[in-house]
Amino acid sequence: MTKGKAVRVRRILVAVDGSDQSLRAVEMASQMAKGLGAEMTLIHVLNLREIPTLIAEAENGFAEEHGQMVLGKAAKLAMLDGIEPKVILRKGHVANQILRFADDYKPSIIIMGSRGYGKLRGTLLGSVSQAVSSYAKCSVLLVRWR
């Protein structure tokens, strides 16, 4: 292995869904951001399903409020380490929205929780972490909490 150019971590993108795994990812990311002097952005994606318009409008209000709460809780956790993260709320297919935002934001690394599903179960469930780690143009760190 040849020694290459040092990698500078400038931007950390953390995908959060409110689970214990994603909160663990926030803890790890905020410690990294503090130690490396990197900026940190939290993203939460409202997974929109195909449902009738009137029901969708009612659910969207609740979903958006819930999404803001998830981001708020994650941001407070990061602030315990002295990091003031940017927060992004998107709507749509979760993995696609994370990857689209990452294409524009150009993070050095994406950090997210992993539920630890095996390959077969992850494929059947359409694992977000599996999709992001497969298609991201940067490194992806999956945090497991058991």
pLDDT in tens, 16-62: 999 999 999 999 999 999 999 999 999 999 987 644 444 555 555 78
**Per-residue model confidence as pLDDT tens digits over 59-114:** 557 888 999 999 999 999 999 999 999 999 999 999 999 999 999 999 999 999 98
**Under a CB-based contact definition with an 8 Å cutoff, are residues 24 and 113 in contact?**
yes
pTM across the whole model: 0.84
Task: For residue 80, give the DSSP letter.
Answer: T
**CATH number for domain 11-144, candidates 3.90.230.10, 3.40.1190.20, 3.40.50.620, 2.60.120.380:** 3.40.50.620
The packing angle between helices 20-36 and 53-79, to 10°, is 40
- Where along the chain do its domains lie? 11-144
Cα dihedral 119, 125, 126, 128 in deg (nearest 10): -90
Pair of tokens at residue 109: 């690394």
Average pLDDT for 115-127:
52
